[in-house]
Amino acid sequence: MTYDIAIIGGGIVGAATLYKLQKRFPELKIALIEKEKLLADHQTGHNSGVIHSGLYYTPGSLKAKNCVAGRRELVAFAKEHGIDHDVCGKVVVATNESELPFMEKIFNNGIQNEIEGIEKIGPERIREIEPHVKGIAGIWVPCTGIIDFRGATGKMVELALEIQEESKLYLEHEVMDIEKKEDFSIIKTSKVEIQAKNLVFCAGLQADRLARKDGVQLKEKVVGFRGDYYELTDQAKHKVKNLIYPVPNPEFPFLGVHFTRMTNGDIECGPNAVFTFKREGYGKTDFSLRDTWDALTYRGTWKLFFKNMKFGIDEYRRAFSKKRFLRTLQVLIPDLTMDDIKPGRAGVRALLLRQDGDTRDDFRIEYKGNSIHVLNAPSPAATASLAIGGYIAEEAEKHFRLK
């Protein structure tokens, strides 16, 4: 059988794309191809589980538009289908005067992005929301929440496959090569060959490599950054009610260490952000010669290192020092102790890094023949997944001339 569309990548963006395409075109036969044993086994399953509000993103950008629309749709989806979630709200906390101008900037972003219910708050209101937090000012964001992203991914695929019995999920099928024919492509996986008229790539940490296999002339490379988490021990869980974020440093391309109550009741603290020597490596000593060579022979990686030298050194020190990690956490919650935290899990973020070392690229989608490539889908892609999936379905209708 030749599928009408094959989607490569079984994270939440690939799952949402399948779901949206299948709902829009129920007669189409669609294959979803994933190299792991489980869906959502990399970025989706290793992130902090936060439903982002859209506070940090430039008004008018794809990130901002898709985050706000996608958040609302995701919450409605979770309610309808019984996905574990809680719209619990978060507080963004400034701990010193130097952070106030940037806090004002992200608050104005929130207003322009039409984020419902946000308000500036002072120290007393911060303590009402989070009694153990010390701050001089903050932003209350009531529409931020937490969700089981793995569960949401699985449900999207399940619902899509119920629509069309000839659509199929291929797990443990790594895409090794793509052969182009006149009217279709042959996807050569580690197990079989799959024919499809049109291709959509949602490959996350492998997006650049698969784009090149498909003939895309791509200057940038994906570079991975590992984020390590700690967890609060049972004796300390009462110190965090919901979500607590610092005001992000505008000079550093990550949001900073924060506290997140998970849907299972655990409290995570983190992540830091360190260069990883293996794109899909979650241990501190994981290593891949290919991934390391790819990253360290790319000038964009070195540009990023030199731009963020001080931050990078601090992040690495913190990755190997519980004491340093605790000190960062104590900026927000001063009464945390060494006995209050224990090592947790880790995740890896894919950044499509420009040659000048810039990581602040917007969502990036490119087209090549009968293919659509999602090349850059960093946070808040999980929150925005249904909106991104809807956008790709609209683009596929035009680009693939679907009817």
31, 194 Cβ separation under 8 angstroms? yes
In this prediction the pTM is: 0.96
Q: 1.20.1250.20, 3.40.50.720, 1.10.3720.10, 3.50.50.60: which CATH number matches 2-45+150-220+362-399?
A: 3.50.50.60
Share of the chain above pLDDT 90, in %: 90
User: Identical fold at 2-45+150-220+362-399 and 223-241+250-353?
Assistant: no
∠262-266-267 over CA atoms, to 5°?
A: 80
Which tokens sit at 340? 């209050």
Residues 311-349: tens digit of each pLDDT: 888 888 888 999 999 999 999 999 999 999 999 999 999
CATH assignment of 223-241+250-353?
A: 3.30.9
* CA–CA dist 365, 343 (Å, integer): 36
Domain extent listing, the chain: 2-45+150-220+362-399, 90-142, 223-241+250-353
Residues 234-283: tens digit of each pLDDT: 999 999 999 999 999 887 767 789 999 999 999 999 998 899 999 999 99
pLDDT at position 230 is 96
The SS3 call for residue 223 is strand
Query: Which of 371, 382, 388, 317 lies closest to 349, judged by CA?
Result: 382
Written as tens digits, the pLDDT of the chain (403 aa) is 899 999 999 999 999 999 999 999 999 999 999 999 999 999 999 998 999 999 999 999 989 999 999 999 999 999 999 999 999 999 999 999 999 999 999 999 999 999 999 999 999 999 999 999 999 999 999 999 999 999 999 999 999 999 999 999 999 999 999 999 999 999 999 999 999 999 999 999 999 999 999 999 999 999 999 999 999 999 999 999 999 999 998 877 677 899 999 999 999 999 988 999 999 999 999 999 999 999 999 999 999 999 888 888 888 888 899 999 999 999 999 999 999 999 999 999 999 999 999 876 788 999 999 999 999 988 899 999 999 999 999 999 999 999 8
Residues 169-182: tens digit of each pLDDT: 999 999 999 999 99
